[in-house]
Structure 1
Amino acid sequence: MKKLLILLFSLGSTCMITAQVPLERLPDGGGAFSFEGHQDEMTPAQRAEIVRMLKANEQMLKERGLLQPPTQRPGSIAFQPPLRQKAGFNDNGFFGVSYFVDHNPGVPNQLLDYQCGNRTYDMGSGYNHKGTDMYLWPFAWKKMSNGAVEVVAAAAGTIVGKMNGNYDLNCAFCTSSCQWNAVYIIHDDGSVAWYGHLKNNSLTSKPIGTTVAAGEYLGVVGSSGNSTGPHLHLEIYTNTNYDQLVDPYGGNCNSMNGTTSWWQNQEPYRVSTLNKIMTHGAAPLLGSCPANEVVNEQVNFVNSQTVYLGSYYRDQQNMQQTVHTILRPDNTVYQTWTQTAATTYNFSYWYYSIVLPGAAPSGVWKYKVNYNGTEQVTDFAVNTILPLQLISFNATRQGSVVKLDVSTQHETNVSHFNLLRSADGRNYNSVGKLAARNEVANHYNWRDEKPVAGTNYYKLEMVDKDGIIKHSDVRQVKMIMEGMFTSVAGNPFIKSISLQVKERLKDAQLQLVNMNGQVVWQKDRLQLQQGYIQIDAASLARGVYQLIVRVRNEVVDRHTVVKQ
């Protein structure tokens, strides 16, 4: 009898455990995102034109003393990742490698990447892929439109070339000659990196001959030149003869630099990542051109409505399992199931649909996905709305203007946003207005063309259609730059200094300070209007002085003047 009870208990335990294992469910749609045709190519004439331009710039910079000979041995530079998400964007993953360098010189379709695979391409014209292509994923065109992914310098160096002003929405090869937008960086070991296909007018404002640090902004990923989708093409040469290509990935089939990697931390050949999960009001559409890409993102639903659940993968591998779970507002499980990959994909996406009950519990539901040791969760609302979320509000100085970036989620019934500015941190005035888009994810930017001298304080005012107003935290930007607000004419001077005031300055202070740091002349609480003022300095001894301009006790300009 005792043995029988043990047997019955064991069977019962097995049944309970089995009942808790989610069942396998096939997706309602999706699959591999094909990169057949998602390529880039440069004609020999275009490549020769770029090399001529770079060599001419190199010679010019050396003559001006702006470019020094290499100080490190060739190949000693270690690269950082050349892409980052812009502030306010927080996808778990935002790109994947579509193509590596081709190490098989034969064509066509004679392919060999650094790891002895075939994740590269060639062309019947004789072109073997010469760089690493990092494609935005998912919804590449939307990411590009929002400037969501920035290109940064993989290593410190000097800008030796820039190309800008070219069309950036290509989704097929150009029917006539077309150039890309690009930045070219030469490093301390003499190697040169080409960052190509950038978004038009997104390039760094730094001119040729200036230095950049590793991780410094260069531009935004685009699809300029001979390109079929938004991606970064990173092409590297060991020297400025441009006759020795580098594949930054070290591997057994790398015919250029062998197993020596140029990355600080080289990623594996496969980086299995769930880049993003989303909820949709209809099946998502992923096309090769901007018009064919339809996100259909939605987060607010009602009884009996169909919810589409999307998951977007990089390097999803054969037999990898994903567990999908839907949780009610009280965190009880509404549905759960597994999904097993039938093969290996470079880029893949899947969606499932569920029909909500006719009397679904109202509140915030959750879509939870477990994959490759990580868990992602996204919320959706049923019979209510998700509250507006201010993801980020940033103010950054760009030369003489201030750039304001706003990212929100779950806009519903929002009227507009007011951009408020203050010169003292207490009294704010509106300097700009943004109409709300009322979409799930929104990104706005605005430029304050006339910031005040000194510290500018910014707040974002969020206004609902029902009149409810909320404010963000304060952001501060100091506008201090020689010659920005004033300039000096007639320098050196004999009797007087002619100071040009470019912007109206309230409660300003002017000082002349000698080389010993002593204030030899000062005027306070000046209300300076645009135009010229004369500073009587006839009594000063000959020598060098600093003319300092302050507003509200902050230095906003400084000029070196010489008394003859």
Structure 2
Amino acid sequence: MSLAALAFAVSLAASVSPDGGQGLSAQAFGDQLTPEQRDQLLEVQTQGLQKLRALGKQAPPAGAKITGMIWPLAPNPGFGSDLTGVSNFVDSNPAFPEQIRDYSCGTRSYDTADGYNHQGTDIFMWPFSWTLMDAGAIDIVAAADGVIVGKRDGSFDRECGFNSNPTNFVFVQHADGTVAWYLHMKNGSTTAKVFGDSVVAGEYLGKIGSSGSSTGPHLHFELHAGDDPRSVVIDPFNGACNSRASGWATQRPYDHSKINRLGTHYQPPSIPRCPQTSDSPNLSKRFSAGSEIVFAAYYADQRINQPSRFRIRRPDGSIQRSWDFSLPQGSDDPTFYAASYWYWTYQIPVGEPAGRWIFEADYQGSTTVHAFEIDPPLNRSNIYWNPEQPGWGLNLQHQGSLLYGTWYSYASDGQVMFLTIEASADIDGSFIGPVYRVRGIPLEQIDGAPAFTEVEAVGTALLQFDETGELTLEYSVDGISQNRRLQPFVFGQAPLSCIGTTLSRTLATNYSDLWWNPAEPGWGLTLSHQGDVMFALWYTYGESGRDQWISAAELRLQPDGSYRGALQRPLTGVPLAEISGAATSFPVPEIGSAELIFIDGENARISYQIGEVAQSKAITRFVVVGEGEALPLCGE
């Protein structure tokens, strides 16, 4: 090893200043209700309570004894961590301006010269709050059981400043008469429940947004004493400057110092300031040896004298680099940030091993881990077709050394059929394996048990790829041998590109893959996701258990994040052995509709209607290889 390489590999013990980053002020995620706005919201609450009283449903006031509340935010499945922080607490000092006192006798709140004293708890998403808002990453949930007494939706949700515009909200009255306000919700996200409906603690109420007078996506949670003429605000936090018993089942610490996430980026991230309302994470988990990688840490409640230790580990666990970092302590340097991020740019030198690397950090007694890959392997997953022979194709899922193919074509009688291929890698880079045809239970009768009833070997296939990515398919099926030249199916602005990964795909936002229900093996859904459109091919069974396939030529992204479109099925087609032009007639007849909702990058639900049959099925990515083998991860 050269002296230069040896020096590079030595762990760094000294504190290393970041190459960039910043701390954000608490006002980056705040709000300011004008007296008129507060009066309007109080009127909604008052009228709601009066209506409940008239219906005999209103809970009696009981001196604001609320206890046992849960945190009013919950990450969606797949986001896997609490990507939030608190920017402001209740200001209990009625004087103004700059006369601030929070429950812990600190100054983590604000007031204004106009007489506004912050009356709630502001809980923000971090990092990349606008991206998280767009993804619906964080649910607003009921902090306690209660009844809905007010609700508004339909207001613009990308506000970035103080204004007089209306906010989206839900009000919930609890059993002791207190009322919780949930403000600034995302447009179109509020619960489907209506006035007078009951909710339980932890139940979905909406999504974080930035509607109304708001400087960024956050939840303003405000607790009121109910029937009081001016609806006295209750601070649910107990501390040195608030002797009231805590309203929380488990009160969070005043300083909840933590690393919300680590990230690897292909260029420094961009965190916007108002009036910009979109951020640029520039995240990546895949890099080539020798390229520059931006390693970033995103903190909540970061203070001075809280050192961090960072490490970059090779696939074998050895440390390739380490360094320390603490906030500077100059006389003009802030001592606290509610949200902050800092990054360092390094290269992983050429010659370092390919595979799964780890970027990790120790901070405040916890270790945060982020995985990334150096020189991940090429993956052949895609839909392949011949544009001069539309109406048939081959979908491949590349897992480890296996190519699993679902082949959509037509039988000798002209009816649709699907075949499957299980091809293993050969030493020359080709893949070879058997071809099967399957029978099963008719689509509408599949119900929680295996869908296939019979598997028949009908031939063999050899798959060879050239340097352009095109595929030569040589096969012998039912005694007939043929050779077909196929290319990736491109319908978006850019071709699909896939790599093999051993990392979790939970946060993946491209859903190209084969999806199935593990409790019902024998049917599945192949997706090619390009831009805002998905092309789907669904293999299942028709009358008498005969194999069939159904297509969805255009499942388009909807404002709520789902994908919807029509389902088609050819009436007849040209038998596989005879295809020399179009394999069926176009347009393909529509037979129904489908909707796909993705819970995360690994789990989804398909709902469909074909004729009088309507069903909804949970689906997940199909995995046939063992743990630790590379699986497809696609993008454009």
TM-score normalised to the size of structure 1? 0.68
Q: Which position in structure 2 is the counterpart of 1:351? A: 343
- Alpha-carbon contact 2:511-2:601 (below 8 Å) kept: no
- Out of 320, 339, 343, the position equivalent to 2:306 is 320
Q: Pick closer, same or farther for the CA change 1:243–1:461 going to 2, 3 Å.
A: closer
Q: Which position in structure 1 is the counterpart of 2:400? A: none
Deviation of 1:433 (Å): 5.9
Q: Pick closer, same or farther for the CA change 1:205–1:80 going to 2, 3 Å.
A: same
- Alpha-carbon contact 2:185-2:207 (below 8 Å) kept: yes
Q: Pick closer, same or farther for the CA change 1:407–1:421 going to 2, 3 Å.
A: farther
Q: Pick closer, same or farther for the CA change 1:458–1:250 going to 2, 3 Å.
A: closer
Amino acid in structure 2 at the alignment position of 1:244: V
Deviation of 1:140 (Å): 0.6
Pairing 1:307–2:293 present? yes
Give the Cα–Cα distance (whole angstroms) in 2 for the partners of residues 297 and 432 of structure 1: 31
Matches within 5 A, 1:54-69: 54-65=45-56, 67-69=57-59
- Alpha-carbon contact 1:300-1:386 (below 8 Å) kept: no
Q: Which position in structure 1 is the counterpart of 2:87? A: 98
Deviation of 1:419 (Å): 8.3
Matches within 5 A, 1:513-532: none
- Alpha-carbon contact 2:602-2:621 (below 8 Å) kept: no
Deviation of 1:60 (Å): 2.2
- Alpha-carbon contact 2:16-2:325 (below 8 Å) kept: yes
Give the Cα–Cα distance (whole angstroms) in 2 for the partners of residues 276 and 87 of structure 1: 16
Q: Which position in structure 1 is the counterpart of 2:182? A: 195
List runs of 5+ in structure 2 lacking aligned partners: 1-9, 329-334, 382-396, 398-504, 514-527, 562-599, 624-630
Give the Cα–Cα distance (whole angstroms) in 2 for the partners of residues 276 and 232 of structure 1: 20
Amino acid in structure 2 at the alignment position of 1:409: A
Pairing 1:364–2:356 present? yes
Amino acid in structure 1 at the alignment position of 2:357: W
Deviation of 1:135 (Å): 1.1
Matches within 5 A, 1:173-192: 173-174=162-163, 177-192=164-179
Pairing 1:82–2:242 present? no
Q: Pick closer, same or farther for the CA change 1:86–1:262 going to 2, 3 Å.
A: same
- Alpha-carbon contact 1:365-1:382 (below 8 Å) kept: yes
Q: Which position in structure 2 is the counterpart of 1:47? A: 38
What CA deviation, in whole Å up to 9, does each residue of 1:198-257 have, x standing for no partner? 001100000100100011000000000000100000111112234311001112223xxx
Q: Which position in structure 1 is the counterpart of 2:142? A: 153
Q: Which position in structure 2 is the counterpart of 1:277? A: 262
Give the Cα–Cα distance (whole angstroms) in 2 for the partners of residues 42 and 137 of structure 1: 23
Deviation of 1:442 (Å): 6.3
Amino acid in structure 1 at the alignment position of 2:315: P
What CA deviation, in whole Å up to 9, does each residue of 1:515-550 have, x standing for no partner? xxxxxxxxxxxxxxxxxxxxxxxxxxxxxxxxxxxx
Pairing 1:384–2:376 present? yes
Amino acid in structure 2 at the alignment position of 1:378: H
- Alpha-carbon contact 2:79-2:507 (below 8 Å) kept: no
Q: Which position in structure 2 is the counterpart of 1:268? A: 253
Deviation of 1:303 (Å): 2.7
Q: Which position in structure 1 is the counterpart of 2:159? A: 170
Q: Pick closer, same or farther for the CA change 1:135–1:410 going to 2, 3 Å.
A: closer
- Out of 137, 141, 162, the position equivalent to 2:126 is 137
Q: Pick closer, same or farther for the CA change 1:196–1:421 going to 2, 3 Å.
A: farther
Q: Which position in structure 2 is the counterpart of 1:210? A: 197
Pairing 1:119–2:111 present? no
Give the Cα–Cα distance (whole angstroms) in 2 for the partners of residues 300 and 430 of structure 1: 32
Q: Pick closer, same or farther for the CA change 1:444–1:229 going to 2, 3 Å.
A: farther
Deviation of 1:338 (Å): 1.3
Q: Give the SS at the match of 2:337.
A: coil
Deviation of 1:36 (Å): 3.9
Give the Cα–Cα distance (whole angstroms) in 1 for the partners of residues 227 and 551 of structure 2: 51
Amino acid in structure 2 at the alignment position of 1:181: N
Q: Pick closer, same or farther for the CA change 1:435–1:336 going to 2, 3 Å.
A: farther
- Out of 93, 110, 121, the position equivalent to 2:99 is 110
Amino acid in structure 2 at the alignment position of 1:99: N
Deviation of 1:48 (Å): 1.5
Per mean C-alpha deviation after superposition, the further-off stretch among 209-218 and 412-421 is 412-421
Amino acid in structure 2 at the alignment position of 1:459: I
Q: Give the SS at the match of 2:336.
A: coil
Q: Which position in structure 2 is the counterpart of 1:245? A: 233
Per mean C-alpha deviation after superposition, the further-off stretch among 301-310 and 419-428 is 419-428
Deviation of 1:362 (Å): 1.9
Q: Pick closer, same or farther for the CA change 1:385–1:318 going to 2, 3 Å.
A: farther
Give the Cα–Cα distance (whole angstroms) in 2 for the partners of residues 361 and 62 of structure 1: 70
TM-score normalised to the size of structure 2? 0.60
Give the Cα–Cα distance (whole angstroms) in 2 for the partners of residues 87 and 260 of structure 1: 32
Q: Which position in structure 2 is the counterpart of 1:542? A: none
Amino acid in structure 2 at the alignment position of 1:294: S
Amino acid in structure 2 at the alignment position of 1:208: F
Give the Cα–Cα distance (whole angstroms) in 2 for the partners of residues 432 and 59 of structure 1: 52
Give the Cα–Cα distance (whole angstroms) in 1 for the partners of residues 49 and 100 of structure 2: 34
Q: Pick closer, same or farther for the CA change 1:233–1:421 going to 2, 3 Å.
A: farther
Give the Cα–Cα distance (whole angstroms) in 2 for the partners of residues 54 and 64 of structure 1: 15
Per mean C-alpha deviation after superposition, the further-off stretch among 282-291 and 130-139 is 282-291
Q: Which position in structure 1 is the counterpart of 2:617? A: 457
Pairing 1:336–2:496 present? no
Deviation of 1:57 (Å): 2.4
Deviation of 1:64 (Å): 2.8
List runs of 5+ in structure 1 lacking aligned partners: 1-18, 390-405, 464-469, 472-564
- Alpha-carbon contact 1:385-1:412 (below 8 Å) kept: no
- C-alpha root-mean-square deviation of aligned residues, in Å? 3.5
Deviation of 1:193 (Å): 0.5
- Alpha-carbon contact 1:229-1:288 (below 8 Å) kept: no
Q: Pick closer, same or farther for the CA change 1:461–1:266 going to 2, 3 Å.
A: closer
Give the Cα–Cα distance (whole angstroms) in 1 for the partners of residues 539 and 71 of structure 2: 36
Give the Cα–Cα distance (whole angstroms) in 2 for the partners of residues 423 and 457 of structure 1: 16
- Alpha-carbon contact 1:75-1:238 (below 8 Å) kept: no
- Alpha-carbon contact 1:422-1:458 (below 8 Å) kept: no
Q: Which position in structure 2 is the counterpart of 1:293? A: 279
- Alpha-carbon contact 1:420-1:458 (below 8 Å) kept: no
Give the Cα–Cα distance (whole angstroms) in 2 for the partners of residues 282 and 218 of structure 1: 36
Give the Cα–Cα distance (whole angstroms) in 2 for the partners of residues 329 and 386 of structure 1: 18
- Alpha-carbon contact 2:25-2:337 (below 8 Å) kept: no
Q: Give the SS at the match of 1:89.
A: coil
What CA deviation, in whole Å up to 9, does each residue of 1:344-377 have, x standing for no partner? 3221111111022133322222112121222222
- Alpha-carbon contact 2:111-2:118 (below 8 Å) kept: yes
Deviation of 1:413 (Å): 8.4
Give the Cα–Cα distance (whole angstroms) in 2 for the partners of residues 96 and 348 of structure 1: 11
Give the Cα–Cα distance (whole angstroms) in 1 for the partners of residues 289 and 324 of structure 2: 25
Q: Give the SS at the match of 2:226.
A: coil
Q: Pick closer, same or farther for the CA change 1:411–1:198 going to 2, 3 Å.
A: closer
- Alpha-carbon contact 2:172-2:180 (below 8 Å) kept: yes
Q: Pick closer, same or farther for the CA change 1:280–1:186 going to 2, 3 Å.
A: same
Q: Which position in structure 2 is the counterpart of 1:221? A: 208
Amino acid in structure 2 at the alignment position of 1:168: D
- Alpha-carbon contact 2:152-2:169 (below 8 Å) kept: yes
Give the Cα–Cα distance (whole angstroms) in 1 for the partners of residues 79 and 106 of structure 2: 33
